[in-house]
Structure formats: C-alpha cells, structure tokens
Structure 1
Amino acid sequence: MSAAGTAPGRRSRWQLGLLLGPPMAWLVVVYLGSLAALFVTSLWTADEFGGTISRTWTLDNFRDLFTLEVYRTITVRTILVAVAVTVIDAVVALPVALFMAKVASPRAQRLLVIAVLTPLWASYLVKAYAWRGMFSNGGPVDWLLAPLGLDTPGYGLTATVITLAYLWLPYMILPMYAGLERLPGSLLEASADLGATGWTTLRRVVLPVLFPAAVAGSIFTFSLTLGDYIAVKIVGGANQMLGNVVYDSFLTGNNMPFAAAVSTIPVVIMLAYLTGVRRTGALENL
C-alpha cells in the first residue's frame, strides 16, 4: 500500500522535473552564463589602437573605475537619477493606484488599467523623441513656462529624470494597484469607524500593505533606469550615465573589456538593492 501510494507522487515529481528542467537549465545557461562571461571579459584588456583583446588576467579596468574621478561621478549620478525616478514614480503612482483599486467602479478599473498599459504599446524611441520635442526651445514645455517667466529645462539631467519617470511609470502603478486591490475594504471602514483621519488610515493601514508592492515596482524602475542609455542619449545631452559609458566603450572606443567592467556596476548595485529589500521582508509578502 505504501509503495503504491508513493508511486503517483514519484511520477508527478518526475513530470514536474521534466516540465521545469529545460527552461530552468536554459535560464542558468543564458543568464548566469552571460554574467560569468561578462565578469571574465572585464578581467581582460584591449589594445588602445586596434582594439585587439588580450586574454591576460588583470584588474586594470576596475582600477580605472575606482581611481578616475569621472567614472565615480558618473556612477553617483546614475544612482541618484535612478533614485529620483523611483521616488517620482512612487509618488505619482500612489494616488493613481489608490483611485483605481478603491474608488473606481469595476468598469472604470478595466478602462484605467488599459490606459496605464497603453503607453507600453508605443515604441520606446517614439516616446523618447516625443519628450525631446517637448523640451526643445519653442516646444510645449517652453510655451507653458514662458508666462511664468521660467525657461525650459532643455536637454539635460532634468529632462532625463522626467523622461525616464514617464517611461517606467506603468511598472510602478500596476504593482501598487495589485497590492491595493488585495486590501480589504473592511479595514478602511474599521479605521474610519475608530475615528482615524484620512492621513492616519493612509499611514497605518494603506502604506504597510502597499510597501511590498512599492518595493516590487521600485525594482523595475530602479534597474531599468540604471541600464538605460538610449533615452539618456536622446534627451540628456552631455549628461552621461553608466549605460552610455558601456555603449561608448564598446562601439566607439572598441574596448569590450572595459565596457564589461562598467556593466558589472549596475549588476552589483542591483544585487545589493535586492539583498536590502529582501531583509525588510517585503519580497516575501508579495
């Protein structure tokens, strides 16, 4: 009886292994293998003139990253831009997600979800160039700020932050909406019955439930900003970020090992970020 009872369980485990084995193996080979190749390449050097790669182990690329001030400045700038984009998206997404989840009717919820997803259907380049036109001299932003006596920010760091915040906003709204949708309305009613103000309810009831969803959204906005270089190139002007250094080192400078070394910085930053948010317990509550 025992052997017969364990046979179906053993067979189901084999079936599960056959089902998940190939995609998991492919993930390990493609993802972890590419990261390993990236790190190995960063330990090589390239000839300054011909770009010929010398497969000699060295830490010169990382030494340049840590000793040259220009790369330290670019790294700090990239992190600050990623933080700014994440904070802006969180602030904008909170009232939108709260309205979608707790105020809008079911029909309106479906329409709002479609409205949030619609920008993702448009081309990334079209949206980036649209914002370039928005910030150009004589553009809509310049037209709106002129009566206030203000000048358009033009191409630069401000335009970069605004453009990236717009591009990644849906990735913050949707996790927040999903988290708030799981919040029972009875908790909000109980908070109101106990005499809590709207701000108290938001701080003690809504935000603790929303925190894991906000962390999930921040992983997208933070990581996507760290690696972006196209929108930065289009609207950022001379404001370089790590993605631009990788692009220029690989294509313009023909220095693949140094580009690989620069690419390890966002990877290390995201690993540290994921480790930090995991210790908060946010990921376990998703």
Structure 2
Amino acid sequence: MTMAATTVTMRPSRGGVFGHLSDVLWRNPRLTLFLMLTPPLLWLGIIYLGSLFALLLQSFFSIDEYSGLINREFTLKTYAELLHPSNLDIILRTLVMSATVTVGAAVVAFPIAYYAARYARGKWKALFYLGIMLPLWSSYLVKVYAWKLILAREGILNWLFAKAHLTWLLDAWLALPIVGGNSLSVSHTGTFLVFLYVWLPYMILPIQAALERVPANLVEASADLGASPRQTFTKVLLPLALPGVIAGSIFTFSLTMGDYIIPQIVGTSRRFIGQAVYAHQGTAGNIPLAAAFTVVPIVVMGFYLWFAKRRGAFDAV
C-alpha cells in the first residue's frame, strides 16, 4: 500500500509593518474577530446604552416646585406624577391608539399579504413589492401633510362622501365623542387613518413572509377533509401566520406609541406620549418627567418583545 505524502504549505511571511500585522491577524482569527467587533460594540455601549442609562437616571430626579431647577436626589416622586389623572390619560390614550392601529393594520394587511403569497407571481409579485415599498420612499412629513389635506373639511374625502350622498353618515360619526371632531383632520379618527397608512407596510411584509412558509397542501388538505373556508382560516392559516402578525405588530405598536409628529399635525389637542415628552423636555423644561414618560414605552415594549419571542415572531421578521 502506498500513501501519498501530505505536505503543508505555509503562508509566506510578508515584509513591512502591515505585512507583519496581516500575518498576526491571519494566525489569530479570534483577535481579528475582537478587533472587528470592538468599534460597533463600543458605539452601542457608549452612545446607545449610555444615553439610555442617562435617561433612566434622569427619571429618578425631580423638579423643585419653587425654583424650577432639577433636584438631583434619588426619588420616585416623578414616577408618582405619571399616576396623576392628566398624565395617566395620556398614557392610556397612547396605548389604546397603538393597539387600535395594530389591530387595524393586521386586518387590512392580511388579505393583501395572502394574495401576494399565494397568487402573485413574476412581474405581479414585483409590482406588489413596488406598491408596498413605494410609499416608504417618499418623505414622512409630505405624507402626513398630504393626509391633512385629504381629511380636511374641504378635502377629497369629504367630496367623495358628498358625491355618494353620505355626508350625513360622516357628520354622524364626527358627532360621536372621543373619535369625532370638527373634521376628520382634527379627530382621533383622522389620527388613526394616518397612522394606519404610514405603518401598514411594516405589517404587510412580515405577514407575507410568514404566509409564504405555509405549505399550500395544508390548505388543500383542510378543504379535502371537509373544513369550511372559515375553519381553514382559523385552524390552519391564522395559527401558522401568527408569528408574522406578531412581528408586524412589533413595528406598528412601537412606532405608533413613540410618534409625536402625526398627532401634532393630524388630531386633536389631546396629547400622546411623544408629544408629552417633547413638551416637558423642550417647553416646560421638566426633563425628569419627560424621562419618566419615555420609560413607559420601554417597559411596555420590553414585555411585548418577551411575549413575541415566546410566540416565535422573530422568525418572521
């Protein structure tokens, strides 16, 4: 029996400082990995986590009622202010709006995502992606102000209601408490519609990705076994697409909860958390209370992400 001689070719050493450094990094892959990860980790640790820690620290301070200066002594007084009726109303209003937008986006996005996953092929699928992504390429403020004009009393939406002889229906809706107002552009309904439009792509894409993972033969087998379309949806499609729905809800819920521009432009004078943070930090100069308000979305999203991870939502992101 003959055995071929095994030869090990060594990488020739390069000359100069850079050549020596290259040899050292080539022979020490762990050192290379350490040097590559250190800059982004330092950026994350100092800029992001450092600023977050400073924010949390500010929330444990308070404002002197007489001088208006920050009292840098550890206290829970500022968090107790969040329980005041006016501040608690802001928190509850924001959470309700975020949940409503999330549910509305899921209802609108599911049939669109289902069609794209099951029936769109070739150029039609490319057209689908173009239609979903195209609104994201335009300016955020342009979209919001465009909706301000659409929802105004002289806007096209009111004109369509008038042409359909449904002005009475719109007026009846605007006469309702909480959701109504002088016009759609100064009501919570208008705020909801703009939120829904702006964040809808972030719900469609995860659901579409989750539905594409569902084998088509499961739907066919459900029908062959005598299940109705409703049973197929509730027992087969929805459970398998639920991670995608939860993944999309992470975006819609968190983005709605932290936004302050849309409620500022389209909506009533009732504040949301983002507006409260902007007002207390900029106008009122109450940085501890502004910091305490920002802790609320962090805590809420922390629990929400924990729940989403347990449901496997990150597989569809």
For normalisation by structure 2, the TM-score amounts to 0.81
The amino acid of 2:39's aligned partner reads P
Tell me how far apart the structure 2 counterparts of residues 158 and 120 of structure 1 sit (CA, whole Å).
22
Q: Does 1:189 align with 2:220?
A: yes
The answer to whether the aligner puts 1:114 opposite 2:140 as a matched pair is: no
Q: Given the alignment of the two structures, is residue 20 of structure 1 paired with residue 37 of structure 2, yes or no? A: yes
- Cα RMSD of the aligned pairs, angstroms, is 2.3
**TM-superposed deviation, 1:13:** 4.6
Match among 207, 224, 229 for residue 260 of structure 2: 229
Contact in 2 for aligned 1:85/1:161 (Cα 8 Å)? yes
Q: Name the aligned partner's letter for residue 213 of structure 1.
A: G
Over residues 70-90 of structure 1, what are the superposed CA-to-partner deviations in whole Å (9 max), with x where a residue is unaligned? Answer: 111111110000000000000
In structure 2, relative to structure 1, the CA distance for the partners of 1:52 and 1:17 (3 Å cut) is same
**1:17 Cα deviation after fit:** 3.9
Q: Tell me how far apart the structure 2 counterparts of residues 272 and 37 of structure 1 sit (CA, whole Å).
A: 22
Residue 213 (str. 1) matches residue 244 (str. 2): yes
2:80 paired residue among 46, 60, 63: 63
User: Residues 51, 31 of structure 1: CA spacing in aligned structure 2 closer, same or farther, 3 A cutoff?
Assistant: same
User: Which residue of the partner structure matches residue 111 of structure 2?
Assistant: 95
Higher deviation after alignment, 254-263 or 46-55: 46-55
**Is the CA contact 1:157–1:239 (under 8 Å) kept in the aligned structure 2?**
no
CA–CA distance in structure 2, aligned partners of residues 52 and 28 of structure 1 = 30
State the alpha-carbon separation in 2 of the partners of residues 70 and 216 from structure 1.
32
How far does the alpha carbon of each residue in 1:246-275 deviate from its partner, in whole angstroms, 9 at most, with x for none? 011111112212111111111111112122
What is the aligned residue count?
278
Return the TM-score normalized by structure 1: 0.89
SS in 1 for 2:92: helix
* Structure whose alpha-carbon radius of gyration is higher: 2
**1:118-172 deviation line (CA, Å, top 9, x unaligned):** 1111111111111111111121122223321122434121111111111100000
* Contact 2:62/2:73 (<8 A) preserved: yes
Q: Distance in 2 between matches of 1:153 and 1:47?
A: 41
User: 2:89 is matched with which residue: 59, 69, 73?
Assistant: 73
**Most deviating of 147-156 and 84-93:** 147-156
Deviation at 1:108, TM superposition (A): 0.5
Residue 285 (structure 2) pairs with residue 254 (structure 1):
yes
Structure 1 Cα separation of the partners of residues 313 and 268 of structure 2: 37
Contact 2:202/2:251 (<8 A) preserved = yes
Contact map agreement 1:75 1:242 (CA 8 A) in 2:
yes
Deviation at 1:178, TM superposition (A): 1.1
Which residue among 160, 171, 182 is the counterpart of 2:202?
171
**Aligned: 1:161 with 2:192:** yes
- Decide whether the 8 Å contact of 1:188 with 1:201 is kept in 2: yes
Matches within 5 A, 1:131-146: 131-146=147-162
- Residues 156 and 238 in structure 1, CA contact (< 8 A), matched pair in contact too: no
Q: Which has the higher helix share?
A: 1
Identity of aligned residues (%): 44
In structure 1, runs of 5+ residues without a counterpart are 1-9
Supply the distance in 2 between the matched residues of 1:172 and 1:280 (Cα, whole angstroms): 16
Deviations 1:195-248 (CA, angstroms, capped at 9, x unpaired): 333222222221122111111110000000110100110001212101110011
